[in-house]
Structure 1
Amino acid sequence: MREGRVLKALGGYFFVHDFESKEVYRCTIRGRLKKEDCDVVTGDLVKFDLLDDGSGVVEERLERKNSLFRPVIANIDQVIITFAILEPDLDFKLLDRLLVLAEVADLEVTICINKVELASLEVAKKRLLPYQKVGYRVIYTSVKEELGLNALKEVLKDNVSVFAGPSGVGKSSLLNAIQPGLELKVGEVSQRIKRGRHTTRHVELLSLDNQGWVADTPGFSSLDLSFITTEKLQYFFPEFINYLGQCKFSPCSHSHEPQCAVKEAVAVEEIATHRYQNYLQFLEEVENKKRGW
């Protein structure tokens, strides 16, 4: 049997890149896999056989190293969390939500701040300074000014990457700029609601000249964190780690308890206030879901 990677799933067909021949074959799934409730999604590594007509049949899905639910994709090395500095405005709550989900999936993270020409590089760096202090890699880009594109290419090299972020921040424009010939559809930001219109309709892995694969994914505005327990949420804020275990009470939710080391760190600006406030909102969200609200 041949082995390959699913590049996209569309209309009941699975388009598989054959590792040996480098060709892409349109495949169906063996009925046995459907009966076993073995779903196959973009990014999955599979074994498949070729039929006489040149199409293929997926016989087996290999073990996944990871997967995301929204966007639905498997076996990725890193996530490029992409936001615009303006148009649409940078949403720190959504950024922190995506960072938590990346931490849960144990993915390498790069924050890409696009459209920096609409403010300035200095303004963008100042706004993202708390994230750089935490240790996140931040790249600043501008398609119009061709800023940061080489840095982004280097991050994507030899990796399977997924772009994640709201619509209208320029994900498709960035991909078009770093890989000529993709010609991905680019949307505009609504002047009324200041949000982007969806241009990507399905998840598809795209081949890059630098041996990387990248997924351009449908935009979104919210993601569910309710599957995370209240006890574990604190571990997905890296700046909290050094203070855990130093609180008076154990366990400590870092919300209402006195003599809390995390709250003391916020008070002296060792932890960014907006990051802590977003943690509290996520904590309430998880607690409400646990109560069935």
Structure 2
Amino acid sequence: MPEGLIVKALSGYYYVQDAEVGSLVQCRGRGIFKKRGESPLVGDRVVYSNTENGEGTVEEILPRQSELIRPQIANADLAVLVFSVVRPELSFVLLDKFLVHTEHARMNALLVFTKMDRIPEGAEGESIRQTVEAARLLYSSIGYQVVLTSAHEGEGLEQLRSALAGHINMLAGQSGVGKSSLVNALIPGLKLETNEISVKLGRGKHTTRHVELVAIPGGGYMADTPGFSQLDFGELGIDEISSCFREFRELPSSCKFRGCTHTHEPHCAVLQAKERGEIAESRYNNYVSFMTEWKEIKRRY
């Protein structure tokens, strides 16, 4: 039986891309999946059979490399975290929050800063450029690839295409940062619906309503992922939050106390590294903030 990749799931149908024949097959899932409590997901590699009416049936879900719950997608291996440099302004807090969730999902992350062409002239623009350059240097030093882009001017698009090739890429970010504009620039002719920032509210509206994989010229797939606006730490523990900061990861074994929270304990390797300037102040402050948020969530529930 042929194999393929589920690129869209909508209204009870699974749309399977068969790489060998180059066609998209509309399939139903076998009833056995429901009995087992299983469900095919976008990103699943599956075995399917053809039916007499020209459609198909998903017969088997091949082993997954990864699975995300929110949003529901399988086998994504690169999170493309999109942040605009203006409207909305670049937020280190939100960026680090996205990175914690990406690291917890055991995915690598690519940081994409958009709207570089919209940086104003004068003192305000110079301040924004300094912030962007500081962010680029900081996150590059930690081990993340950072790409500066302008969907309208084409800046950074070839570098971005090269980074996306060969991956199932999960696109994520705040509303209004230009995700749809970026995908439209990467994939000419796609024309995803875009929505400009509301001047009154200072934010955009979600324009993507379901998860769908779109083939990228040059290789790979892009998943534009709705949801992902509510990022909390309720499902994480103290050790998991600290391990999601790459520069902390190898240090806790050197802490004097087991279960060190890296906030006040004596002989804490993370605090010592911060004092030596090996951990950025902004990253450490965000870690402390996330720990506080985690404790408040645990206290409520």
| TM band (smaller chain) | over 0.9
Query: Shift of residue 242 of structure 1?
Result: 4.4
Percent sequence identity over matched residues?
41
Does residue 133 (structure 1) correspond to residue 141 (structure 2)? The answer is yes
Query: Does residue 208 of structure 1 match 2:216?
Result: yes
Pick which of 22-31 and 113-122 moved more.
Answer: 113-122
SS in 2 for 1:226: coil
Which residue pairs with 1:90 in the alignment? 90
Counterpart position of 2:122: none
Structure 1-normalised TM-score?
0.93
State how far apart, in whole Å, the 2-side matches of 1:264 and 1:116 are. 36
Aligned to 1:158: 166
Comparing 107-116 with 124-133, greater Cα deviation is found at 124-133
Unaligned runs of 5+ in 2: 120-124
Contact preservation (8 Å) 1:207, 1:213: yes
Q: Distance in 2 between matches of 1:219 and 1:37?
A: 23
Deviation at 1:268, TM superposition (A): 4.1
* Per-residue deviation, 1:292: 5.2
- RMSD value, Cα: 1.8
Question: Is the Cα–Cα contact under 8 Å of residues 104 and 240 in structure 2 kept in the other structure?
Answer: no
1:254 maps to amino acid: H
Shift of 1:285: 3.3
Asked whether 1:286 is paired with 2:271, we answer: no
Residue deviations 1:216-247 (CA, integer Å, cap 9, x gap):
12254222332222123211101113432333
Contact 2:29/2:59 (8 A) holds in 1: yes
Per-residue displacement from partner, 1:226-283 (whole Å, max 9, x unpaired)? 2222123211101113432333323311112133231233334321222112212222
**Are the aligned partners of 1:166 and 1:219 in contact in 2 as well (CA < 8 Å)?**
no
TM-score normalised by the chain length of structure 2: 0.91
Paired letter, 1:28:
R
SS in 2 for 1:245: helix
Which structure 2 residues correspond to residues 72-91 of structure 1 after superposition, within 5 A? 72-91=72-91
Aligned counterpart, 1:8 = 8
* Pair 1:242–1:47, CA change in 2 (3 A): closer
| Superimposed CA distance per residue, residues 49-88 of structure 1 (whole angstroms, 9 cap, x where no aligned partner) | 1111101111111111101222221111211111101111
Partner secondary structure for residue 138 of structure 2: helix
Question: For residue 109 of structure 1, what is the amino acid of its counterpart?
Answer: A
Alignment of 1:1-293 (within 5 A): 1-119=1-119, 121-218=129-226, 220-291=228-299, 293=301
Relative distance call for 1:255 and 1:117 in structure 2 (3 A) is same
- Report SS of the residue matched to 1:113: strand
- Which has the larger displacement, 227-236 or 282-291? 282-291
**Which 5+ residue runs of structure 1 have no aligned equivalent?**
none
Amino acid at match of 1:131: Y
Taking the aligned partners of 1:223 and 1:85, their CA distance within structure 2 comes to: 20
Cα distance in structure 1, aligned partners of 2:137 and 2:256: 30
Q: Deviations over 1:6-57 (max 9, x none)?
A: 1111111111111321211111111111111111111111111111110111
User: For 1:187-226, what per-residue CA distance to the aligned partner results, in whole angstroms no more than 9, with x for missing partners?
Assistant: 1111122211111111100012212111112254222332
- Check conservation: 1:42, 1:72, Cα contact below 8 A: yes
Matches of 1:47 and 1:283, distance apart in 2:
43
